Amino acid sequence: MIETGRIALIIALPVAVFSVLASVIGARAASGRLYQNARYGILTVFGLYTLALALILYVFFTRDFSVRIVAEHASRDLPDLYILSALYADKAGSMFLWGWLISLFSVLLVFPARGNRQSIISYAIAILAVIEAFYIALVTFGVNIFAQHSSPPADGFGLNPLLQNLGMLIHPPLLYIGFAGLAVVFALVVAALISRDSGTLGNGLVRRWALFAWCTLGIGNLVGMWWSYNELGWGGYWAWDPVENAGLMPWLLGTAFLHSMAVRGRRNYLQVWSFCLIVFTFVFTLVSPFITHGGIESPLHGFYGSPFPPFILTVMIVVVIGSMVLLYVRRRDLKSEAKPAPFVSREGAFLITNIALVVLVSVIFIGTVLPRIVEVLGGAKIALDRSFFDKTCGPIMLLLVLLMGVCPLLGWGKMIWKSAGRNLIFFFLAVIVIAAAILISGIGNWYIAAVVLCGLPLFVIFREWWRGSVARHRNQGINYVGAFFSLINSNRARYGGFLAHVGIVIIALGVIVSSFYNIERTVTLDIGESMRAGKYELYYDELIFKQDNVKVSAVADILVSEHDKSVGIMRPSYAYWFSYGDFFAEVAVRTTAAEDLFVSLVWTDFDPEDRSATFRVLVNPLIVWIWTGGVFFLIGGAVAIASPDKPSSGDKG
């Protein structure tokens, strides 16, 4: 029965090719009929793909272990909730889902009647159909996702316990949605250039898709950090692992693209730059599967024995070369009409932001691939530790934070400071002087200065909100709260941008402070002993053994008191999973606005007589700020997406 799925996808392949031809020829001949055919082709591919997806989910739900993917990733005791996790725990399954999302997005793109935009949409769906065909070929001919198991086991191998977590349930799909959305943006921008409709580059369609994809990708990365922190037991959330970098780089490039678009929408320049950015953003979404499928070794995550990397690399190279050729052929259409703005203007600040982001991505990229390149070139095997990334990326990120503070004070295209900003220049200088003084006098380290710098954009943004709200309150007679919301509503792109910036700065504060002020202790305790970590006292009260049919676990009762006042019980556990033949820790975290108390049970002998156990205890300050910042970021993104299309929509602070 599962074979039906494969047949559906194999039929979808020529349909996708037909859609490519129909839409391209239709666009050239301005034939409405061919365009309609291409639309139905895209819809048919989606229908067939969805049928295949439904079949895959069905065999998972029925635990049909005669299918390889089910036997390898699911088991009878796996909760149904984690069926999806089991699907993308597979090398073919992850690409399968990603391809399906691209198919879905293509339908969302062609379905609304677009009237005079037919030409650009035609080319865009042609490009998306090519990408779909690539994914379909990977999961049918590369690794057959529908393959039968040669000797079906009675029960499946099961899903890694670390992946049976809510964070891991939504982290991969969020990344795929972000990546697939960026493919749509790429297709639209390239289509605009092919169809000589360059004015469209700044139109609402590109902007909304870009914001949607970028926002989802950003949240996806944050959820990945949250999972790493709560599930992996090491007490951190970011290790500069190649896999993590692969999720971050396209997001950073997407950030640069959005900001260059904002300038482009306002003054008709930075066109070539914007084009190159979206090309590389799309190419960098492919770095992630390239790494996870084994192109670069990552200790954190890898699919075993995947044949995909050479194909993915080929596509990356073809996309870059193809786009550059197109750029050359169409170079006259991208002539900048406007004179570049003076350096000290909002355009100038956006430009520096762009350059800083590109430098940041370059450094991360070099750090990620260099060990592999040196090795391939026959040199020694080398490794870069995370201090490389901290030292190179830290300063650039601080510069970006600073720019978020400067930007709202500058006017578009004007050399002079906005009247609002003129008096703030003194405030700025004061903050920089204080920061420099902290550094030079040796009172504190550079991270104190970093925290001070983070205050800057927050102050400037809150001041803008305050001034705007007060003005509205005065002119329109609405109360302050109402005035604030009406202010946000008046220019959603600008104030949505501000909200996102506030989110980023809150995240930055959480990252800086938690990196430099954490306390870490590892201690082995007997029942009745206690330990100290910062202001906390942890009393090891009891160890209880529990067994069910998947695991045997030891659950510790830790009585926590703060300044000698009891604040509760924490229950970290340590379990042996039968199907995996391995131990996994389940951490306990107590979160307050100021800090997290993180307790992980890392070892016990499961001996009922001697119940000593080793605990790793961390006090991580401001961790919850990182997740809270993510909420601001998400709201900001949503507000900006909801912005109507008008020329001022480029006015993102």
Partner 1 sequence: MGFRLKKYVIMKKRYLIGGGIILIAVVYLLYLSFGSSVSYYVTVSEFFSRSEELSETNVRVAGKVVDTSIEWDADDLELAFIITEGGRDMRIVYHGAQPSGFRGGTSILVEGKYNNEGVFRASQLILKCPSKYESIDIE
Q: Please report how close the Cβ of residue 265 comes to partner 1 at its closest, in angstroms.
A: 20
Nearer to partner 1, 106 or 271 (CB): 271
Q: Please report how close the Cβ of residue 232 comes to partner 1 at its closest, in angstroms.
A: 8
- Residue 150 near partner 1 by CB under 8 A: yes
- Comparing C-alpha atoms, which of 181, 195, 394, 390 is closest to residue 281? 181
Strand order in the sheet with 588-591: 519-525, 613-621, 595-604, 588-591
Structure tokens given for 357: 């982001």
Q: Please report how close the Cβ of residue 427 comes to partner 1 at its closest, in angstroms.
A: 28
Contact 76, 63 (CB under 8 A): yes
- Residue 299 near partner 1 by CB under 8 A: yes
- Residue 89 near partner 1 by CB under 8 A: yes
Task: Give the footprint of partner 1 on residues 614-633 (CB under 8 A).
Answer: 614, 616
The residue range among 135-143, 299-307, 311-319, 320-328 that interacts with partner 1, by the rule CB under 8 A, is 299-307
Nearer to partner 1, 304 or 426 (CB): 304
- Residue 301 near partner 1 by CB under 8 A: yes
- Residue 304 near partner 1 by CB under 8 A: yes
Contact 35, 118 (CB under 8 A): yes
Q: Please report how close the Cβ of residue 354 comes to partner 1 at its closest, in angstroms.
A: 9
> Could you tell me which residues come within 8 angstroms of residue 88 by beta carbon, excluding any fewer than 6 positions away?
94, 97, 172, 173, 176
Nearer to partner 1, 328 or 426 (CB): 328
Structure tokens given for 51: 């049928």
Binding mask 387-426 for partner 1 (x = CB under 8 A): xx--xx--xx------------------------------
Task: Give the footprint of partner 1 on residues 547-586 (CB under 8 A).
Answer: 582-585
Structure tokens given for 591: 């979160």
Nearer to partner 1, 246 or 424 (CB): 246
The residue range among 177-185, 464-472, 511-519, 600-608 that interacts with partner 1, by the rule CB under 8 A, is 600-608
β-partners of residue 417 are 410
Nearer to partner 1, 70 or 424 (CB): 70
The residue range among 208-216, 406-414, 463-471, 608-616 that interacts with partner 1, by the rule CB under 8 A, is 608-616
- Residue 607 near partner 1 by CB under 8 A: no
Contact 283, 320 (CB under 8 A): yes
Nearer to partner 1, 107 or 261 (CB): 261
β-partners of residue 583 are 576
Binding mask 320-359 for partner 1 (x = CB under 8 A): ---------------xx---x--------------x--xx
Residue 381 burial (C-beta neighbours within 10 Å; 0-12, 13-18, 19+): exposed
User: Of residues 366, 373, 430, 544, which one binds partner 1 by CB under 8 A?
Assistant: 366
Nearer to partner 1, 459 or 603 (CB): 603
CA pair distance 25, 29, nearest whole angstrom: 6
Q: DSSP string covering 479-498, please? A: -HHHHHHHHHHHTHHHHHHH
The residue range among 88-96, 131-139, 409-417, 446-454 that interacts with partner 1, by the rule CB under 8 A, is 88-96
- Residue 130 near partner 1 by CB under 8 A: no
The residue range among 30-38, 448-456, 510-518, 609-617 that interacts with partner 1, by the rule CB under 8 A, is 609-617
- Residue 247 near partner 1 by CB under 8 A: no
Binding mask 151-180 for partner 1 (x = CB under 8 A): x-x---xx-x-xx-----------------
- Comparing C-alpha atoms, which of 332, 299, 301, 295 is closest to residue 317? 295
- Comparing C-alpha atoms, which of 80, 85, 72, 245 is closest to residue 172? 85
Nearer to partner 1, 91 or 473 (CB): 91
User: Of residues 230, 515, 612, 648, which one binds partner 1 by CB under 8 A?
Assistant: 612
> Could you tell me which residues come within 8 angstroms of residue 633 by beta carbon, excluding any fewer than 6 positions away?
215, 218, 219, 222, 499, 500, 503, 504, 507
CA pair distance 278, 215, nearest whole angstrom: 15
- Comparing C-alpha atoms, which of 618, 613, 610 is closest to residue 601? 613
Nearer to partner 1, 478 or 523 (CB): 523
Question: Position 158: which residue type?
Answer: G
Q: Count CA atoms within 13 Å of residue 112 on its CB side.
A: 7
Binding mask 66-85 for partner 1 (x = CB under 8 A): --x--xxx------------
Nearer to partner 1, 27 or 201 (CB): 201
- Residue 305 near partner 1 by CB under 8 A: yes
Measured from the Cβ of residue 595, the count of other Cβ atoms closer than 10 Å reads: 23
User: Which residue, chain included where needed, has tokens 């670069």?
Assistant: 296
Task: Give the footprint of partner 1 on residues 253-272 (CB under 8 A).
Answer: 272
Nearer to partner 1, 294 or 496 (CB): 294
Write the DSSP symbol of residue 239.
-
CA pair distance 344, 315, nearest whole angstrom: 40
Question: Position 171: which residue type?
Answer: H
Nearer to partner 1, 386 or 467 (CB): 386
Contact 162, 168 (CB under 8 A): yes
3-state class (DSSP) for residue 523? strand
Nearer to partner 1, 21 or 519 (CB): 519
Q: DSSP string covering 599-643, please? A: EEEEEE---SS---EEEEEEEEETHHHHHHHHHHHHHHHHHHHT-
Q: What is the size of the binding site for partner 1 (CB under 8 A)?
A: 63
- Residue 490 near partner 1 by CB under 8 A: no
CA pair distance 507, 636, nearest whole angstrom: 14
Structure tokens given for 615: 């605990």
Contact 262, 651 (CB under 8 A): yes
Query: Which residues make up the interface to partner 1 (CB under 8 A)?
Result: 68, 71-73, 89-91, 149-151, 153, 157-158, 160, 162-163, 233, 272-273, 294, 297, 299-305, 335-336, 340, 355, 358-359, 362-363, 366, 371, 380-385, 387-388, 391-392, 395-396, 522-524, 582-585, 602-603, 605, 612, 614, 616
